[in-house]
Amino acid sequence: MPHTFETPVIAGNWKMHKGPDAARKFCREFAQVAPAQNRTLIVFPPALSLTVVRADLIEHDVGVGVQNIYWEEDGAFTGEISAPMAREAGAEYVLVGHSERRHVFKETDEETSLKVAAAMAAGLFPVLCVGETIEERKAGRLEEVILRQLGAGVKTLSDKDFQHLLIAYEPVWAIGTGETATPEDATDAHTRLRNRLRERLGDAADDVPILYGGSVKPDNAGELLAADQVDGVLVGGASLDPRDFARIAAA
Ligand code: 13P
């Protein structure tokens, strides 16, 4: 079924923060300050807190997702969770290839491809994350790196599958560092990604949301969201505070 995402998309990636109790507290506080919506709000809690966040925020029209999946449906894969399990627990979205998965856990392009395919098969919307390191950027390899990551991630997709895909451009040097890409940096990278999508999809490329992530805060979210080709933001640290996240969601 075709799907159109309402933009901007404001997503919070909690990373390894907030077990069920802290998640419940966040939801209680966020419910008091949640902005009125004509946008897509998503929270990616740790998997153990997913059902809590879903139950508490569904009436506020906030979607939930998991931060990672394994590509097999089930089996002897200790410590992993599968896409159908995440879907059954209420997840609608999944982050794939986040920079911490790639750089801390050594996830490969090939693995992101399998995970995107598994997400699609289970009816989850994958958010494929791409982004260059500072060394790659300084060496003039921005485009090469992000287009390689994009190409690998979408390798198995049909043209129709792209209606269910989101992309997040997260330059590694801007994640958790307080150093944000400028709106121009974001537009530049997003345009390169969009042009690659356009080669394949034509005008339908405009319907694939491309989010920016990397030190998004309440006071820079507005200018980033206003930047050309930026369809939303993926927020780490600032999504942990319900007031900050609400301010970003209202930006
Ligand atoms: P920060 O917003 O903490 O820089 O994290 C960005 C991120 O990795 C979101 O997925």
Kindly list the domain boundaries of the chain, sorted by start residue.
9-249
Give dist(CA 152, CA 113) in Å, integer. Answer: 6
In this predicted structure, the answer to whether residue 21 has a pLDDT above a threshold of 80 is yes
In this predicted structure, the answer to whether residue 225 has a pLDDT above a threshold of 60 is yes
User: Measured in angstroms, how far is the CA atom of residue 75 from the centroid of ligand 1?
Assistant: 32
In this predicted structure, the answer to whether residue 2 has a pLDDT above a threshold of 70 is no
Does domain 9-249 sit in CATH 3.20.20.70? Answer: yes
Predicted local confidence at residue 4, as pLDDT: 84
Q: Which atom of ligand 1 is nearest to the CA of 237?
A: 3
- The residues lining ligand 1, judged by C-beta closer than 6 Å to any ligand atom, are 13, 98, 170, 175-176, 213-216, 234-238
Q: Whose CA is nearest to atom 1 of ligand 1?
A: 236
Give dist(CA 99, CA 192) in Å, integer. Answer: 19
Q: Whose CA is nearest to atom 7 of ligand 1?
A: 236
User: How far is it between the farthest Cα atoms of the chain?
Assistant: 47
pLDDT digit string (tens) for 50-91?
999 999 999 999 999 999 999 999 999 999 999 999 999 999
Q: Which atom of ligand 1 is nearest to the CA of 98?
A: 10
How many other CB atoms are there within 10 angstroms of residue 144's CB atom? 12
Q: Give 248's pLDDT tier (boundaries 50, 70, 90).
A: very high
Phi, then psi, of 148 in degrees rounded to 5? -65, -45
Q: Which atom of ligand 1 is nearest to the CA of 15?
A: 10
Region 44-52: what's the mean pLDDT? 98
Predicted local confidence at residue 177, as pLDDT: 87
pLDDT digit string (tens) for 92-115?
999 999 999 999 999 999 999 999
User: Measured in angstroms, how far is the CA atom of residue 51 from the centroid of ligand 1?
Assistant: 22
In this predicted structure, the answer to whether residue 37 has a pLDDT above a threshold of 90 is no
In this predicted structure, the answer to whether residue 31 has a pLDDT above a threshold of 70 is yes
Q: Assess contact for 223 and 216: CB atoms under 8 A.
A: no
- Mutation test of ligand 1: which of 15, 43, 169, 175 has the most ligand atoms closer than 8 Å to its C-beta? 175
- 79-83's contacts with Cβ under 8 Å and 24+ in sequence apart are 81/47, 82/118, 82/122, 83/115, 83/118, 83/119, 83/121, 83/122, 83/124
Predicted local confidence at residue 22, as pLDDT: 98
Q: Assess contact for 31 and 246: CB atoms under 8 A.
A: no
pLDDT digit string (tens) for 152-194?
999 999 999 999 999 999 999 999 888 889 999 999 999 999 9
pLDDT digit string (tens) for 228-238?
999 999 999 99
Token pair of 177, please? 């560092």
pLDDT digit string (tens) for 111-132?
999 999 999 999 999 999 999 9
Which residues are the active-site residues? 98, 170
Give dist(CA 28, CA 13) in Å, integer. Answer: 18
Q: Which position has the token pair 């002897």?
A: 76
In this predicted structure, the answer to whether residue 219 has a pLDDT above a threshold of 70 is yes
Predicted local confidence at residue 128, as pLDDT: 98
User: Measured in angstroms, how far is the CA atom of residue 79 from the centroid of ligand 1?
Assistant: 24
User: Measured in angstroms, how far is the CA atom of residue 203 from the centroid of ligand 1?
Assistant: 30
**Of 123, 116, 101, which is closest to residue 157 (Cα–Cα)?**
116
**Which residues are within 8 A (CB) of 60 and not within 5 positions of it... i.e. 6 or more apart?**
30, 31, 34, 41
- Mutation test of ligand 1: which of 13, 15, 16, 233 has the most ligand atoms closer than 8 Å to its C-beta? 13
152: which DSSP letter? H
In this predicted structure, the answer to whether residue 1 has a pLDDT above a threshold of 60 is no
pTM: 0.97
